[in-house]
Amino acid sequence: MAARRNVAGSKRERLTQAAVDLAHRQGFRKTTLAEIASESGVPLGNVYYYFKTRDDVGEAILSCREDQAAQQQLQFDQLPEPRARLAAFIDSTVANAAMVSQYGCPMGSLSAEMMKEGGHLAELSRSLFATPLAWMEAQFRAMGCKDDAGDLALQLLASLQGAMLLTHSFHEPSILQREGARLIGWLEAI
Query: pLDDT (tens digit, 9 = 90+) per residue, 129-175?
Result: 999 999 999 999 999 999 999 999 999 999 999 999 999 999 999 99
Angle (CA) 44 50 52, round 5°: 90
pLDDT of residue 1: 35
What is the share, in percent, of the chain residues with pLDDT greater than 70?
95
Q: Is 61:28 a contact under the CB 8 Å cutoff?
A: yes
CA-angle at 37, arms to 40 and 35, nearest 5°: 105
| Helix, strand or coil, per DSSP, at residue 77 | coil
On the question of pLDDT at 73 being above 50, the answer is yes
Confidence of residue 187 (pLDDT cuts 50, 70, 90): very high
Residue 9: pLDDT band by 50, 70, 90 thresholds? low
Domains and their CATH numbers in the chain: 1-52 (1.10.10.60), 61-189 (1.10.357.10)
Q: In the prediction, which pLDDT does 5 show?
A: 38
For 118, how many CA atoms within 13 A lie in the half-sphere containing its CB?
0
> Cβ(107)–Cβ(24) under 8 Å?
no
How confident is the model over 13-56, as pLDDT tens digits?
Answer: 999 999 999 999 999 999 999 999 999 999 999 999 999 999 99
* Residue 2, pLDDT score: 38
Against a cut of 0.75, is the pTM above it?
yes
Which run of H or of E encompasses 125? Answer: helix 119-125
Q: For the CA atoms of the chain, what is the radius of gyration?
A: 18
What pLDDT score was predicted for residue 109?
97
Q: Are 96 and 160 in contact (CB under 8 A)?
A: no
pLDDT at 97 over 80: yes
What pLDDT shows up at residue 62? 98
Q: Is the pLDDT of residue 6 over 90?
A: no
CB neighbours of 61 closer than 8 A, spacing ≥ 6? 16, 19, 20, 23, 28, 110
Residue 76 confidence class, pLDDT cut points 50, 70, 90: very high
